Each structure stands twice: as structure tokens, then as C-alpha cells.
Amino acid sequence: MMSSIAEELESIDREARAALAEATEEGQLESWWQQYLGRRGRLTQVLRSLPSLPLEERRQVGARANALKEALQTAYEERRAHLERVRLAREVAQAQLDVSLPGRPLPVGRLHPITQTLRDILACFQSMGFQVVEGPEVEWDYYNFEALLIPKDHPARDMWATLWVDYERDGERPMLLRTHTSPNQVRYMERHQPPIRIVSPGRCYRYEATDPTHEWMLTQVEVLAVDEGISMADLKGTLADFARRIFGAERQVRFRCEYYPFVEPGMDVLIDCFQCRGEGCRTCGYTGWIEILGSGMVHPQILANVGYDPERYTGFAAGLGVERIAMLRHGIDDIRLFYQNDLRFLEQF
């Protein structure tokens, strides 16, 4: 019994290897595999008969059979790879296949245009010593409005159409989706002492109908510097430098009074139109100037509320819309394009 199974294994070994060396085509390889290693293959049958053998014999024959199975499987794969190389070499030789042609291009992803512009903006401020900090998108009414000197029923609330999460009721604190990144000014000052230089990026939400210049979701960057002796000169120098780094070193910068409840004085920053160089065109609304952000000197009441001495410390703040900056930079005339996920648009950046 023992010798016959052992002999069968040896003849399988010999015959299988000889037959494999003869196989030159896919079909032959396939039937070779069926004949020896397949479900009804010769070697498979030997392996199946093992459990009926006495223990000692089963051990020896089993080890040999399993080793042979692995060896034949490897030989099969090597033969197949060898035939494939031969086939390719033949095709190359017959010039049916030109391996020097470029391969099929793989689609490569890229950063969203808003992410690209956001990173440029942050890098600009970081190089001036500002640190990046983030805050929550779901915010208390307190930080979004109250702490920024916009009390309940104050007309300035109309500047920000709000998406509410929870109205005020039963003494619960009202909660909302932040309408701007300005709440991070207060959040940061509550936990830190001057000197402060931060930029705070993030998404903001507004209860607004969309049109070419309005989205219900937008990205802002808040800027805040508080220290002894910070003046309008620091505000102007910092923001003018920012504007020139993003829109070109030759930009003219203008500051125009504007009301924001949390700064005094408040102002918008404008640059001369890079499209028409001040002549007047669609981009600048025929004024020659383009508004790029809001800013001002931090209201002394806000400094006092977070426990700073407003006689000792002063600061400036600014807030800018990343979509607006990206639109101006790339000449995009509809903000809604950013979030429609149309590759024909996104692949241009």
C-alpha cells in the first residue's frame, strides 16, 4: 500500500513536470492544471485518500504529497509567467506592441480651488507671525452676536441672516450656525493673554437665497492682533501687505469707513481693480475699486469684557471671504460654481 502511493506520487511528479514543459498555450496550461491539481486531478485524489492510511504512513506520504502540491503549483505559475514573457517578446519583435509608447493616463486628484486659496491666505499671515486656530461651526448666539456687541433686537443682526439650531426658550441658550468667524476672536481672547496674533479659518452659514454672489455656505478667515500699542498703522500695513501678496505687488490699497458693531472705527479694505487698472469694468462694478475684506480696531468694550485693560491693550481685526478672493483671483463670476462638484469647472484649477 505504502509503496504504491509513494510510487504514484513519484510518477505524478515526473509526468506532470514533463507535461508542463510541453504546454505552450493557455488551453494546454488550463487542462494540465485540471489534470493534476484540479478537483479531480491525480494529486488531489492522492491527498483525498490520505485519511484512510495508518498514522505513520499518513504522516510521511502526506508531507510528500503536500510538498509536491506546492512545488507543482509554483512550477505552473512560473511556466505561465515564462510563456507570457515569450509572448510579449514576440509581439515586440513583430512590432505589434510598442512598449515605448506612453501608458494610459491615470486621473489624478487635486485640491479644491477654495482650499488652494485658503492655504495661500493662511500662509501669507503665518509668514507674518500669525497662528492658525479654529472654532466650532455650531455656535452659541452669545459668541456669534452678544459678545460681539450685537444684542438681541439690535438692527445690526440684519447684517447676518441666521440659520438657527435652537431658539431661545425656557432659559436655554439659543444656538445657531455661525454666520461669520468673528466669534473666534472672543473665544480665543477668553483663554489667552496678549500678545495675540491669530488667523481663524472656517465655514460659515447664512439663511440666504443663492445668486451669483451669495451662497448659504461660505468660507471665512478671521484675523486678530491684540497687544500693547497696536494702532491703525499696524492694521493698514498688515492688510495692505496681504492684499499685495495675493493680488500683485503693484496694488493700490484704500480704506473706507464701514460699520461693524465689534470694531471702532470699522473699515472696508479695497484694492484698485486689476482688470481695468481703475478705468471701470464689470469686475469692479465700474468704480475702479474692489472690496476685499472688512476690518477695524477691536472695540474697547470687547477687550474689557474678556478681562483685558483697554487702556493698556489695543487690537485690530479683519474678516475676509475666501470664495470672494478666489473669484477675484481666477475671474470666476458665479460663487455657486464652487459647490456644484462639476469636474469641468474644478479641473481648471
Residues near ligand DAH, by CB under 6 A:
180, 182, 222, 260, 263, 266, 294-296, 317-319
195: preceding bond cis by omega (within 30 degrees): yes
Between 202 and 266, CB nearer to ligand DAH: 266
The one-letter code for the residue type at 103 is G
The one-letter code for the residue type at 248 is G
Q: Select which of 79, 178, 187, 206 is catalytic.
A: 206
Is-catalytic flag, 32? no
| Min CB(308)–ligand DAH separation in Å | 17
Is-catalytic flag, 160? yes
Is-catalytic flag, 317? yes
Beta strands 313-321 and 217-228, pairing class: antiparallel
Between 290 and 318, CB nearer to ligand DAH: 318
Rounded Cα distance, 318 and 200, in Å: 10
Between 180 and 197, CB nearer to ligand DAH: 180
Residue nearest to ligand DAH (CB): 319
Q: Select which of 263, 269, 298, 318 is catalytic.
A: 263
Beta strands 263-272 and 175-177, pairing class: unpaired
| Min CB(148)–ligand DAH separation in Å | 8
Between 114 and 263, CB nearer to ligand DAH: 263
| Min CB(321)–ligand DAH separation in Å | 8
Residue 84 CA neighbour count, 13 Å, CB half = 6
Q: Select which of 133, 221, 223, 317 is catalytic.
A: 317
| Min CB(317)–ligand DAH separation in Å | 3
Between 62 and 265, CB nearer to ligand DAH: 265
Is-catalytic flag, 318? no
Rounded Cα distance, 117 and 338, in Å: 12
Is-catalytic flag, 326? no
265: preceding bond cis by omega (within 30 degrees): yes
Percentages (nearest 5) of helix, strand, coil residues in the chain = 45, 20, 35
| Min CB(331)–ligand DAH separation in Å | 24
Question: By CB neighbour count within 10 A (0-12 exposed, 13-18 middle, 19+ buried), where does 215 fall?
Answer: buried
Provide φ and ψ at 236, rounded to 5°.
-65, -45
| Min CB(319)–ligand DAH separation in Å | 2
Q: Select which of 79, 220, 221, 298 is catalytic.
A: 220
Q: What is the dihedral of CA 181, 118, 268, 222, to 10 degrees?
A: 30
Rounded Cα distance, 233 and 34, in Å: 86
Is-catalytic flag, 263? yes
Rounded Cα distance, 349 and 332, in Å: 11
| Min CB(98)–ligand DAH separation in Å | 59
Q: Select which of 32, 33, 140, 160 is catalytic.
A: 160
Between 247 and 260, CB nearer to ligand DAH: 260
Alpha helices in the chain (DSSP H): 2-22, 26-36, 42-49, 55-93, 113-126, 141-144, 183-191, 232-247, 300-305, 322-330, 343-346
Between 295 and 314, CB nearer to ligand DAH: 295
Rounded Cα distance, 137 and 220, in Å: 11
Give the catalytic positions in this structure: 160, 180, 206, 220, 263, 317
